[in-house]
Structure 1
């Protein structure tokens, strides 16, 4: 399938009822250049960007759906999907480790609380000193 980008642009402009002069002003070309673009199978990338912005249409997508770009981008997407899966697994492992550490921290806080409670119960009365043995 061959892409005739000029026809695609012209069809969208026509459906929206936009005058050639308005298109020309928006993409910064003459009105006669707009008509020439409508008949072109391909146009400069900078003009294609301006058309995409003006009409709010991604005119680059049709190119990505053709070979060899399609295969190239599909391979990149597959590679990125694998990376996302690997990173998701790592995140899951880290989240499990965080949960384990939070439980351990909670247990440690309980033990500290119990030790402090026990320490408070068995405090020596004020004024009592420990007996030291003389060597």
Structure 2
């Protein structure tokens, strides 16, 4: 899903009822530059943070909701022996909830052995 952040800002500004000149003043730019912002497909995060605060809308959520996360994968190899030795490889994406989910899965595996 491609996000044209400028168009999204324009929609939220229009719905807010705030005048473009006042919006420009609050984000410390010229009214002319506001039209330039509307045309942008990308925007620097520091400016997007200010715009989010001024319009009371979290534009960052547009990006987070469009990201498809992979489920963590667990590869289990049990060697040919009578011992309960299991080799596990975890693939994590850096999110705390992924680690927590992986730990729960490991506990289930341990109980099954």
Structure 2 length normalisation: TM-score? 0.62
How many pairs align?
A: 81
Matches within 5 A, 1:1-135: 1-67=1-67, 70-71=68-69, 75=93, 76=95, 77-80=97-100
Higher normalized helix content (fraction of residues): 1
- The answer for unaligned runs of 5 or more in structure 2 is 73-92, 105-113
When the two chains are superposed, the root-mean-square deviation of aligned CA atoms in Å is: 2.1
More strand by share: 2
The list of structure 1 runs, each at least 4 consecutive aligned residues, that deviate by more than 3 angstroms after superposition, is: 80-83
Q: CA 1:66–1:21 in 2, change beyond 3 Å: closer, same or farther? A: same
Return the TM-score normalized by structure 1. 0.53
